[in-house]
A and B are shown apart, each in its own frame.
Chain A
């Protein structure tokens, strides 16, 4: 055990190092290359004399840096969302994108862009995340209830995935319809919702996603022991003193909030929530506390690298990030699917 412990202790450090490296790379490289000097000078000027900033310095401060931070936050949200959903459904092939959360959130956000003006409801800059959460809650609870067997009240993984496909199709065609009738340029772009992009990153989105991510992950960590107990079954977790209904509700809620708020600003990005927990389980086992902690780091690493790839591959044009995550994610999904002992 001691030997294992020592090995595990190194993992967060290595991840942290990788995270720093990837973030530095993604800050420097893109359509325009920014030198280290410019990075320092722009940071200094931003707080003292913002009027004298050069174009490169402004690109760094207003585009590159918020985008890099957004990558870390969204990556963390999606990865932890995946950990939570997998623990809840007791199955390693579940992720927020598969159970409808992302598409519902995209629909809610698109609805706000297109019809927002006609509704009375307005919560200022929180209206968009709120609309996305409402959509995410609606779609996720639809998948949850519809996939439950009438006899046993439990959902088989097959029923869950099939229901997820149907609800995803429904909400994405809703998004398609809204894009079709939309005037707002962001809502018009169906590829934005379908494949995701971080090109819209700014400090406003960083702050809102930052608040939801930090709060939700703090709650998730608090319940990590409870989620561990769930691994041996709901009944058994109950015998360990855990209120299962309450746990499910809380975990589902924080997952939806985290993923929906992120989706509202960056569109649907699939497979991060699937790949990260899988890789981490190979590295250090299934303890949910470690999965959440290291998932924050690894989610950031993966999404930043994917974003960097998306920006560099067809430079100066930009690929939607969902294409990159799918190219990596689909093989992992297929591998998991073919592992028999993970199923049924």
Chain B
């Protein structure tokens, strides 16, 4: 489990996060939603120890993140950030292999080669393994980075959960690949030792795939829980200042606006 406890973060007198506590369970798809400026990215950055909270702490399996070294974290946790730009031409395989960097010195071992290959297969980028990353389309680049972050935590770690943190992973993808990606993440979650935390904008995708939804608004935790608890007419109207029409079909739930 990854837990964030009483997280508060301020910049220049403005409170970006106000006393937020959330638990992220393994085997679950945890999706953070909220309007622009709600504090989603800030919370992700704190969970990744990219920035330090004013007060509160983040624990990975009970261990305080502030007391964990970067190289230790890199063994069990991978992070996909927004807008990654490459400075130099690299092949797709070279980029994916970067995910294995925390696991080897010098040359990649057999295990690393295998993990790299399987991750590329998993996200359908094996066919472009030798292509120059810089010549790919936005969606292809994004899939290469999926393969990279998955390769990093491809092998189970004894005595520890694995953590996958995704900051707006769906930005450059068309509808097909958005669903494709979510299905693949769901597949990954079948191995019960992975904690997945993601930020998404699409409420319908959250309703369709999330096990737990965390709704932030103005730096506060507005609601958290399953879709029926969080995606209510009241909550969405408060957060997005738009009243939704909620349509249900058996287990599924669809939201419309306008």
- Residues of A whose CB lies within 8 Å of any CB of B are 1, 4, 86, 90-92, 225, 228-233, 235-236, 238-243, 281, 285-287, 341
Q: Could you tell me if A231 and B101 are in contact, using CB atoms closer than 8 angstroms?
A: no
Q: Could you tell me if B84 and A1 are in contact, using CB atoms closer than 8 angstroms?
A: no
Of B72, B102, B129, the residue contacting A240 (CB under 8 A) is: B102
Of A233, A239, A243, A285, the residue contacting B48 (CB under 8 A) is: A239
Please report the C-alpha to C-alpha distance between residue A231 and residue B91 in the assembled complex, in whole angstroms: 12
Please report the C-alpha to C-alpha distance between residue A236 and residue B99 in the assembled complex, in whole angstroms: 10
Most chain-A CB neighbours within 10 Å: which of B50, B70, B84, B88?
B88
Please, which residue of chain B has its CB at the minimum distance from the CB of A224?
Answer: B106
Give 9 A-B pairs besides A236-B84, A242-B71, A287-B90 with Cβ atoms closer than 8 angstroms: A1-B130, A91-B87, A239-B78, A239-B79, A240-B98, A241-B73, A241-B101, A242-B101, A281-B89
Q: Which 8 A-B pairs have the closest CB atoms?
A: A241-B74, A90-B87, A286-B88, A241-B71, A241-B102, A239-B79, A240-B101, A241-B70
Please report the C-alpha to C-alpha distance between residue A92 and residue B134 in the assembled complex, in whole angstroms: 15
Minimum Cβ distance to chain A for residue B65 (Å): 13
Q: Cβ of B118 < 8 Å from any Cβ of A?
A: no
Q: Could you tell me if B90 and A285 are in contact, using CB atoms closer than 8 angstroms?
A: yes
Q: Could you tell me if B84 and A243 are in contact, using CB atoms closer than 8 angstroms?
A: no
Q: Could you tell me if A231 and B70 are in contact, using CB atoms closer than 8 angstroms?
A: no
Please, which residue of chain A has its CB at the minimum distance from the CB of B69?
Answer: A241
Please report the C-alpha to C-alpha distance between residue A230 and residue B98 in the assembled complex, in whole angstroms: 10
Q: Could you tell me if A229 and B98 are in contact, using CB atoms closer than 8 angstroms?
A: yes
- Residues of B whose CB lies within 8 Å of any CB of A are 48, 50, 70-75, 77-79, 81, 84-91, 93-95, 98-99, 101-102, 105-106, 129-130, 134, 152
Of B50, B90, B134, the residue contacting A235 (CB under 8 A) is: B50
Of B50, B77, B87, B102, the residue contacting A231 (CB under 8 A) is: B87
Please report the C-alpha to C-alpha distance between residue A243 and residue B50 in the assembled complex, in whole angstroms: 12
Q: Could you tell me if A232 and B70 are in contact, using CB atoms closer than 8 angstroms?
A: no
Please report the C-alpha to C-alpha distance between residue A80 and residue B62 in the assembled complex, in whole angstroms: 44
Please report the C-alpha to C-alpha distance between residue A242 and residue B129 in the assembled complex, in whole angstroms: 25
B contact residues around A225 at 8 Å (CB): 101, 105-106
Please, which residue of chain A has its CB at the minimum distance from the CB of B130?
Answer: A1
Given A1-B129, A231-B86, are A287 and B134 also a contact pair (CB < 8 Å)?
no
Please report the C-alpha to C-alpha distance between residue A91 and residue B87 in the assembled complex, in whole angstroms: 6
Please report the C-alpha to C-alpha distance between residue A275 and residue B85 in the assembled complex, in whole angstroms: 23
Please report the C-alpha to C-alpha distance between residue A242 and residue B98 in the assembled complex, in whole angstroms: 12
Complex A-B: 16 CB contacts under 8 Å: A4-B130, A90-B88, A91-B87, A92-B88, A228-B101, A230-B87, A231-B87, A232-B98, A235-B50, A238-B70, A239-B48, A240-B99, A241-B101, A281-B88, A281-B89, A285-B89
